[in-house]
Structure 1
Amino acid sequence: MSAPDSVPNPPKNPFLVIFTLGALSTISPFAIDMYLPAFGQIAKDYGTTTAHVGLSLSTYFAGMALGPLFYGPLLDRFGRKPPLLFGLGLFVLTSLGCIVSPNIETLIWLRLFQALGGCVASVAAMALVRDLFPPKDTAKIISLIILTIGVSPLLAPTIGGVVAATLGWHWVFAFLAAIVALILTLAMLLLPAGKPADTSVSLAPWPIIKTFAGIYRNRTFVTYLFAGGFSFCTLFIYVSGSPVIFMDIFHLKPETYGLIFALLSVGFIGSSQVNVIVNRYFPSKQILRVALTVQCIIATLFVIGAWLNVFNVYGTVAMIFLLLSCIGFIGPNSSATALSSLTRDIGSGSALMSFTQIGLATVVSAVVSNLHATTMTPIVAVMAVCALIGLAILILGNPKSAAATTDAA
């Protein structure tokens, strides 16, 4: 059953609501990107290696993947704001704990709980988008949120580097605590309550598992979730593989790599904003089908060119820019279509979406990290495989999509 075309209580000030939802969605990206430049300082202070410090990033990813499974039922049972405010409060407290961590092991564990607090922000934001805006506008709202998320790769590493260099790495976590405390205040004051608490939602383990299983039996939800999820993997593959491609293979300086990283993020951010305009004229399903097809064509050409060694650094940047630009169309429309197929348990559906996407991306990026690639061909090949799997899922899961693709051809 599809969702209704309108919502009972639309927000009175959509701009402030969208801005706050976007701010919520930046919490984990900032928590990941902002402390990366401080790895060397942290390792030196604790007398360990940067690889050991890297475990604090792994535990954060683990918390990001697992946390939504707990928050989904809570967001449905108690309403959107109580679990959201609890999670943000936990993030602030654990950030302060990171400042006074006596050893690296404590920091690693605190990062896990920091993620368990912060991950509620993106789950609640997606649920509130579905609560507060009609389905026909969902993809446009998600695109606007992505614009805010896109600030992270542009600003967070730079801010973190300046803070660490001038004040020390501890202050990075102080800044994170302050930022999230401000966002918590905005959420309290500006966000509508969204869907009211549903006392029929059980928090016992077996009913929760049955709820998740029921959502996974929704063919429309699963089709668009995994079609978009595998496409989203290409972004994580790029993040994991780009240091190898640009610094190890093309021997670029870290400063140059940083500039390229910022430039390529513009492709993802910019296309998501173009999607806002395109959504006025075409439905989300059609945009998604075309964008996935284009992404597969680009990825296939990229693999062939990489194998034949025809791409220099400029050609490589151009191809990655095009691949990431496709995600700016695919992400909002796949998420919007998946969520629009749900009429209840939207918090749990949003949680499953976050868990599945991050889980898939984490596994695939780990595969790329373990390839020990000396050329970019295997990295690009994994990108292409993920894009092709996403398109295959869309076609096989939605026969009408296959017919439309054939007609278009």
Structure 2
Amino acid sequence: MNKNIGLVLLTVLMMFPQIVETIYSPALTHIAHGFRVSPEEASQTLSLYFFAFAFGVVFWGRVCDIAGRRPAILGGLLLYSVASLIALFSRLFEVLLVARMLSAFGAAVGSVGTQTMIRDTFQGTALARVFSVMGIALAVSPGIGMLAGAALTRFWGYQGVFAGLALLAATLIGWSVIKLPETRPENVKTAPLMQTLAKMIMDRGIWRTAFLVALFNINLFSYYQLAPFHFAKSGLSPEMLGYSGLLLTLGVGIGAWVNKFMLKRNANSAYLVLLAAITSIIGSIVIAVLLMINSKSFMWPMLLIVMAYGIAIPNILASALAHYSDRLGTAGAVLGLFYYLLLACGLALAGWNQHLGIVLMCSSILALPLAFNAYFRGR
């Protein structure tokens, strides 16, 4: 096993799926106008993205176990680059949807591939701390994506966004070819997919994990999905939407720092997830009230929402596959399938509802009993 794993490159690769999605967010209103579709239809591109992402996680997870971690990551990045070029030159909304789904399928390798490589190399407390550091890095992702997307949209419209995405993927391909090691253990067990799927379907702990990950991600991505249209209705510019990404960066960063601080003092992971769920409910209630009175300051309580995300996600993921150490790639793929399908369904409902406050309240309230259950089981 290669201990010189190259955490800088892996960190960028783990950030990649989130960055490329948040770059896309400021372009949603331009896409709705350019392709002459409704906000509801434009919003659904995000839910379709995650449906394809879910199946990409399964595919690349299997490739990780069968062919190796490095070939999987290179293949996913190449597919993403090609799909971004298709989106760049598309003239029909249906072609754009297909291109977005292909790009999501490729981007999924940034999630399952990097998590598998990290789990190859670290275990126990060290693994939790690495995921905590990754959480801090992920905190930067929304700010980078939103600001870059706003700038590209301002100067070149949604075409500039897709050109930038293709260039980013090509850059990561070159970097990975030169620097990315192979961490696949020599004695790795390529577990049968259907056997692993059947085992995990019957695992209540896996479903609790999948729902928690999905619900906290719905809170985050529903903002990227719905906020552009709330900003437009309030007369706020796409640049302001981009700057709001800095606020999200601050919030996730604070949450990740709090998480790291508490872990160093041996705080219980389940307790931190419960704390995050309560924090998320408080933030969602405030946002719902502000949107009801048409206040333009609704983005400020998002600090609480994204702080909760920064605290919860590293703790949920770090212990998610403790009982599947003999099949990490395949198990990680199946887990990803579960929570990304749940996320896609949640975002489809959010796109239909078009009310950010209601979406945040529902997902936060649903997360609370799951967090309580995990906490009391871990005591």
Give the structure 2 partner of residue 340 of structure 1.
322
Q: 1:196 to 1:109 in 2, by over 3 A?
A: same
Tell whether 2:361 aligns with 1:381.
yes
8 Å contact from structure 2 (residues 149, 242) kept in 1? no
Q: After superposition, where does 1:294-305 map in structure 2 within 5 Å?
A: 295-296=277-278, 299=281, 303=285
1:394 alignment partner, one of 363, 374, 377: 374
Tell whether 2:16 aligns with 1:27.
yes
What is the DSSP-based 3-state SS (H/G/I as helix, E as strand, rest coil) of the residue aligned with 1:35?
helix
Report the alpha carbon displacement of residue 325 of structure 1 after superposing the two structures with TM.
Answer: 1.1
Segment drifting more, 234-243 vs 264-273? 234-243
Report the alpha carbon displacement of residue 226 of structure 1 after superposing the two structures with TM.
Answer: 3.6
Q: In the aligned structure 1, how far is the partner of 2:308 from the partner of 2:372?
A: 16
- CA shift digits 1:67-105 (9 cap, x unpaired): 112222221122211122111111112222223335332
1:236 alignment partner, one of 207, 221, 227: 221
What is the DSSP-based 3-state SS (H/G/I as helix, E as strand, rest coil) of the residue aligned with 1:10?
coil
- CA shift digits 1:31-78 (9 cap, x unpaired): 322234344555665566665555544432221122112222221122
Q: In the aligned structure 1, how far is the partner of 2:200 from the partner of 2:136?
A: 29
% of aligned pairs identical? 23
Give the structure 1 partner of residue 152 of structure 2.
163
What residue ranges of structure 1 are gaps of 5+ in the alignment?
Answer: 1-7, 405-409
Give the structure 1 partner of residue 332 of structure 2.
350
Tell whether 2:129 aligns with 1:126.
no
8 Å contact from structure 1 (residues 230, 389) kept in 2? no
Give the structure 2 partner of residue 270 of structure 1.
254
Give the structure 2 partner of residue 180 of structure 1.
169
What is the DSSP-based 3-state SS (H/G/I as helix, E as strand, rest coil) of the residue aligned with 2:182?
coil
Tell whether 2:3 aligns with 1:10.
yes
Q: In the aligned structure 1, how far is the partner of 2:152 from the partner of 2:294?
A: 35
* Counterpart AA for 1:76: D
Q: 1:188 to 1:221 in 2, by over 3 A?
A: farther
Q: 1:61 to 1:309 in 2, by over 3 A?
A: closer
* Counterpart AA for 1:391: A
Q: In the aligned structure 2, how far is the partner of 1:164 from the partner of 1:306?
A: 28
* Counterpart AA for 2:218: C
8 Å contact from structure 1 (residues 55, 108) kept in 2? no
Q: In the aligned structure 2, how far is the partner of 1:26 from the partner of 1:98?
A: 21
8 Å contact from structure 1 (residues 144, 276) kept in 2? yes
Q: In the aligned structure 2, how far is the partner of 1:10 from the partner of 1:362?
A: 35
Report the alpha carbon displacement of residue 318 of structure 1 after superposing the two structures with TM.
Answer: 5.6
What is the DSSP-based 3-state SS (H/G/I as helix, E as strand, rest coil) of the residue aligned with 2:325?
coil
Q: In the aligned structure 1, how far is the partner of 2:155 from the partner of 2:368?
A: 46
Q: In the aligned structure 1, how far is the partner of 2:164 from the partner of 2:304?
A: 34
Give the structure 2 partner of residue 328 of structure 1.
310
Report the alpha carbon displacement of residue 291 of structure 1 after superposing the two structures with TM.
Answer: 3.8
Q: In the aligned structure 2, how far is the partner of 1:301 from the partner of 1:89?
A: 39
Report the alpha carbon displacement of residue 190 of structure 1 after superposing the two structures with TM.
Answer: 2.3
- CA shift digits 1:113-138 (9 cap, x unpaired): 11111111111011111011232122
Q: In the aligned structure 1, how far is the partner of 2:193 from the partner of 2:97?
A: 29
* Counterpart AA for 1:75: C
Report the alpha carbon displacement of residue 335 of structure 1 after superposing the two structures with TM.
Answer: 0.2
Q: In the aligned structure 2, how far is the partner of 1:309 from the partner of 1:160?
A: 24
Q: After superposition, where does 1:3-402 map in structure 2 within 5 Å?
A: 9-11=2-4, 17-39=6-28, 42=31, 52-54=41-43, 56-167=45-156, 169-196=158-185, 201=190, 207-218=192-203, 220-240=205-225, 242=227, 251=234, 253-254=236-237, 256=240, 258-282=242-266, 286-293=268-275, 295-296=277-278, 299=281, 303=285, 319-371=301-353, 373=355, 376=357, 378-395=358-375, 399=377, 401=378
Q: In the aligned structure 1, how far is the partner of 2:292 from the partner of 2:152?
A: 41
Segment drifting more, 317-326 vs 342-351? 317-326
What is the DSSP-based 3-state SS (H/G/I as helix, E as strand, rest coil) of the residue aligned with 1:345?
helix
Q: In the aligned structure 2, how far is the partner of 1:98 from the partner of 1:71?
A: 22
Report the alpha carbon displacement of residue 381 of structure 1 after superposing the two structures with TM.
Answer: 3.1
Q: In the aligned structure 2, how far is the partner of 1:191 from the partner of 1:57?
A: 30
Report the alpha carbon displacement of residue 168 of structure 1 after superposing the two structures with TM.
Answer: 5.1
The CA RMSD measured in Å over matched residues stands at: 3.5
Q: In the aligned structure 1, how far is the partner of 2:147 from the partner of 2:74?
A: 28
Q: In the aligned structure 1, how far is the partner of 2:190 from the partner of 2:266?
A: 36
8 Å contact from structure 1 (residues 140, 276) kept in 2? yes
Q: 1:312 to 1:322 in 2, by over 3 A?
A: farther
Q: In the aligned structure 1, how far is the partner of 2:287 from the partner of 2:90?
A: 48
Q: 1:219 to 1:87 in 2, by over 3 A?
A: same
Report the alpha carbon displacement of residue 195 of structure 1 after superposing the two structures with TM.
Answer: 1.8
Q: In the aligned structure 1, how far is the partner of 2:236 from the partner of 2:172?
A: 36
Question: What is the aligned residue count?
Answer: 378
